[in-house]
Structure 1
Amino acid sequence: MGLIKTVYNQFIVKSYKNNLGKDVIISIIARGVNTLLSLILLSFSLKVLSPNDYGVWLTVSALYSWVTLFDFGAQNTLRNVLAIDLSSKNENNMRGTILTNSFAFTLLISVIFLILSTVLFNVCDFSTLLKIKHGNKTDINNLVFISLIIFGIKLFSNNYNTILTALQKAYMAIVISVISSLCTIIILVLAYTLKQDISILNYGLAVLVTDVVFSFLLPIIYLRQMKFKYNFSLRLLNYNYFKKNLLGNNIKFFILSSLVVLTFFSTNLFIGIILSYEDVAVYNLVNKYFNIITLFSIVALNPIWTKVAMYYGTNNYLEINRLLKKTQLYFLFFILFGLTLLLFDTRFYSFFGHDKIIVGRYVSTVAMLSMLQLFYNNIYAYFLNGMNAIFIQIIGFVIAAIIIYPCYYYFCHYLQMGVLGAFLVQIIVYIPNTVMFPIFLKRQLK
């Protein structure tokens, strides 16, 4: 109880007096609602789709993580540069130049990606590439193509959510996600009521179209209500400025993002290929439950990243150290939260999985430890991101990217550990990050 009281007083009560604390608290509430809606959607999905079809959908939707690589780190760079500019008291800020060049770059790569997606659709059989043995191949190919088109549009629309984060309004991105999730559930329930059989293609269309419409329009509407001035102008396009202030950081963040995707977001694809797409459904049910830890932690860390960037821009290392201590207290609280989740895991699987999926206690325990380790690593990674000190992260993720796939094959396939092996591998490959990140951050703050 003493620990909980300390966290509450230091991180919640005192923090709420500034914009950062308000952003964190509102984000946590919004994320809680959004997590509940995602669980309802998961439960409904397993009701209308077979575990195999749901596993296929999860694998296709996970391709978005690969698509985000095509922004070449632009969103992370925009967040840092814009946050520093907004913290400046200089009236002659560079906001217009920053936004014009960033938007122009992401628009260009979005158009290129859409063209490439169209070409791939006409020359590739996606169902064969993904080794999907069951289901309608035409529907699956169409679903992958539509997904790629919508993901390409989101490459550009993500700029607006990045602006909200730089303005310390990250919670609005989550609120928008809540609205999108709620509308998606309503549409699917109505479709199921009118027509009991929902194909994987129609299911995917409902989720994807709703998401892209809301993620594009609502941030624009909110920013206009805030009277945020974009100051877009073709005369502000400046290649020299882009090359000097944006491109260099873009490349660093692109390398880091590529490594993160290779290690974090390829699990669905790998499990589907070497095990089965039903195992993908099992993995994601467990991951969805314990990922609550990660979701709530990222809610807090996103605005902290922005705040660190602002402090770093003014060389205020004292405030960065104070913020780090508060965040470390927050992690201790989540250890207790993780143990609490472990007590109710079987009830969760039974209720939301409709008893279609059986999960062992060892799988849940290792999954919980994996998520806590991820949260711990993210604390230091986000602080380093805010200081543009990402070289050590690149080293850590290079190590992980090299060993993760041999480890997956060895533990999941050779030792026949299945989904348990997947979670165990995720702990093993990130041990170097767990050791290196805190040491490097401490050196940066000296």
Structure 2
Amino acid sequence: MLPFGVGRSEGRDRDRYRRAALTIACNVCSSGLAFIVLIASVSWTLPYLGQQRFGVWMTFSSLAATLAMLDFGIGNALLNLVAGARANEDPRRIRELITHGVWLLGTVGAICGVFLYVALHIFDLRRIFGHSADAANETLTAATLFLVLTCLNIPLGGVKRVCHGLQRGWEQHIVSSVGYLISLPLLYWSCMRHASIPWLLCVTYGIQICMSSCLVFRLNRQGLLGAISGAGRATMWCDSKKILSMGSMFFGLQVGVMCASGFDALIVAKLLGVAEVAKLAVAQRLFQFLTVGISMLTVPLWGLYADAKARGDTNFLSMTLKLSMLGTGAIAIVTSGSIFAASSWLLSKWVGNHLSIPVALLCAVAVMSVVDAFGNAFGIFLNGVGELKSQLVAVCVSCAVSLSLKFWLVSTFHEVAWVVWATVIASVVSDYCVYLSLFRRRIFAHLSVPDDKGASSA
């Protein structure tokens, strides 16, 4: 509620913070319900699934977020472009971008579905998970269902990004909250009847997909999304090229992040066995309260950064970045340390004696959570201002270091904690070597105020 802005931009600054606060408030509700579902999905399913089947269930859960990259960065590009059109107060342009972008994502989802279906029947899942024939059949069914839901999520994920570009991110979180409220009793009912892994996917991931479709109907009713008209076809190709051009940059970032940390579960399953995936999944989910909380604070700022960049409000960019970095860093250090200190008690109440988590793994995930918090806050700023090239270089460095260290350290020491430490080391190396050394002046130029001579001062 503090008066961050001055002069003619004061009203816009306050309105941005108001929208961010509303989005964060709804995100708190949504993420709180998601955290309850997450805890329940572990404590209710682990006793009857066993470590191996539970490891498969957690592998699919981990890949759900990772495979969101199959939109090839189009969703993120759409966010920035819609935010820019909103800053220019051009309703017709907003409708064109949203319509063309969502239809483009629908096409991408259909193409990905075909390729993933073929790939699913080429690879032998028994070689990956080491299962018997019966268990492999269940895993194949679950993988097929997971594939369908993932492809449906591609255009629906773009619709969610559009909400953030319109600075109405709270709509997405309200819909998600309703989905979690529906999932929780269904999950309990399923676990009481020892439901299979495909059914567990339906009552969790599937419910969220169904609820996300409500956003499509809402945009359509508001006249922001519809069929492509004859006049719209003339600009669709131009818009598609623009969206794909920016999206390819975001896609490069997504691929790098996926290679650096998204395949941890598969690496552990291959090198140490699927039972170790359960330990990694539980340790990561224990600290997910922190990572989700940090995302609640930072993600709503993406659209605000893009809007401020389009309007040239450098004062807002500078002040918000400082508050974001300092706030998320302090929260991450205190919260991560508290969770680590109470981890023994929390795990005893959560999973009981069904699973033993090494202290070294908990320590690694605690440090990783703090590193992620700083990186998340800074990355959201870079995304919002369209600073993508420096991020691509940083991600390439991080990916090369991370993958090399993971295979070497895990193979050498045979401890699951090293897969997390490798990510920590790679993140620190890429941040200091790339951002602070190579692109420091370029990044700070976004926060500069032009002087009378056309130059800029930081």
Alignment TM-score > 0.5, same fold? yes
Q: For 1:361-417, what per-residue CA distance to the aligned partner results, in whole angstroms no more than 9, with x for missing partners?
A: 33222211111101101111111111111111111111122122221122222122x
The correspondence for 1:210, drawn from 207, 211, 230, is 207
Cross-structure match for 1:246:
243
Correspondence 1:414-433 to 2 at 5 A? 414-416=412-414, 418-433=415-430
Q: Tell me the distance in 1 between the aligned counterparts of 2:160 and 2:111.
A: 22
Q: For 1:152-193, what per-residue CA distance to the aligned partner results, in whole angstroms no more than 9, with x for missing partners?
A: 111122122112222223233233333323322312322344
What amino acid maps onto 1:386 in structure 2? G
2:273 counterpart of 1:276: yes
Q: For 1:121-143, what per-residue CA distance to the aligned partner results, in whole angstroms no more than 9, with x for missing partners?
A: 4x424413524335611111111
Cross-structure match for 2:288:
291
Cross-structure match for 2:343:
345
Cross-structure match for 1:260:
257
Cross-structure match for 1:138:
137
The count of residues paired between Structure 1 and Structure 2 equals 430
Q: Tell me the distance in 1 between the aligned counterparts of 2:130 and 2:182.
A: 30
1:55 positional shift:
1.0
1:264 positional shift:
2.2
Q: Tell me the distance in 2 between the aligned counterparts of 1:42 and 1:173.
A: 25
Q: Tell me the distance in 2 between the aligned counterparts of 1:419 and 1:325.
A: 35
What amino acid maps onto 1:180 in structure 2? G
Gaps of 5+ in 1: 1-7
What amino acid maps onto 1:360 in structure 2? P
1:219 positional shift:
2.1
Mark the CA change 1:174 to 1:155 in structure 2 (over 3 Å): closer, same or farther.
same
Q: Tell me the distance in 2 between the aligned counterparts of 1:283 and 1:355.
A: 16
The correspondence for 2:408, drawn from 394, 407, 410, is 410
1:224 positional shift:
6.2
Cross-structure match for 2:98:
99
Which deviates more from structure 2 when the two are superposed, residues 363-372 or residues 327-336? 327-336
Correspondence 1:380-395 to 2 at 5 A? 380-395=378-393
Higher RCO, 1 vs 2 (CA within 8 Å, ≥6 residues apart) = 1
The correspondence for 1:234, drawn from 229, 236, 246, is 229
* Identical aligned residues as a percent: 14
- Does the CA contact (< 8 Å) of 1:96 and 1:232 recur in 2? no
Give the SS at the match of 1:252: helix
Mark the CA change 1:124 to 1:248 in structure 2 (over 3 Å): closer, same or farther.
same
TM normalised by structure 1 equals: 0.89
Cross-structure match for 1:315:
312
Q: Tell me the distance in 2 between the aligned counterparts of 1:125 and 1:18.
A: 49
Correspondence 1:323-402 to 2 at 5 A? 323-331=320-328, 332-402=330-400
Mark the CA change 1:126 to 1:210 in structure 2 (over 3 Å): closer, same or farther.
farther
Q: For 1:195-218, what per-residue CA distance to the aligned partner results, in whole angstroms no more than 9, with x for missing partners?
A: 3x32223333333432321222x3
- Does the CA contact (< 8 Å) of 1:252 and 1:390 recur in 2? yes
Q: Tell me the distance in 2 between the aligned counterparts of 1:174 and 1:54.
A: 28
User: Aligned-residue CA RMSD in angstroms?
Assistant: 2.5
Q: For 1:324-375, what per-residue CA distance to the aligned partner results, in whole angstroms no more than 9, with x for missing partners?
A: 1211231223321222222221122112213211123332222111111011
Correspondence 1:45-84 to 2 at 5 A? 45-84=45-84
The correspondence for 1:219, drawn from 197, 206, 215, is 215
Q: Tell me the distance in 2 between the aligned counterparts of 1:330 and 1:56.
A: 36
Q: Tell me the distance in 2 between the aligned counterparts of 1:415 and 1:34.
A: 35
Q: Tell me the distance in 2 between the aligned counterparts of 1:87 and 1:143.
A: 44
Q: For 1:12-55, what per-residue CA distance to the aligned partner results, in whole angstroms no more than 9, with x for missing partners?
A: xx899621222223323432232223212221121331121111
Q: Tell me the distance in 1 between the aligned counterparts of 2:73 and 2:268.
A: 27
Q: Tell me the distance in 1 between the aligned counterparts of 2:180 and 2:124.
A: 27
- Does the CA contact (< 8 Å) of 1:192 and 1:198 recur in 2? yes
- Does the CA contact (< 8 Å) of 2:409 and 2:419 recur in 1? yes
1:66 positional shift:
5.0
What amino acid maps onto 1:277 in structure 2? V
TM normalised by structure 2 equals: 0.86
Mark the CA change 1:32 to 1:420 in structure 2 (over 3 Å): closer, same or farther.
same
Q: Tell me the distance in 2 between the aligned counterparts of 1:17 and 1:174.
A: 17
2:299 counterpart of 1:302: yes
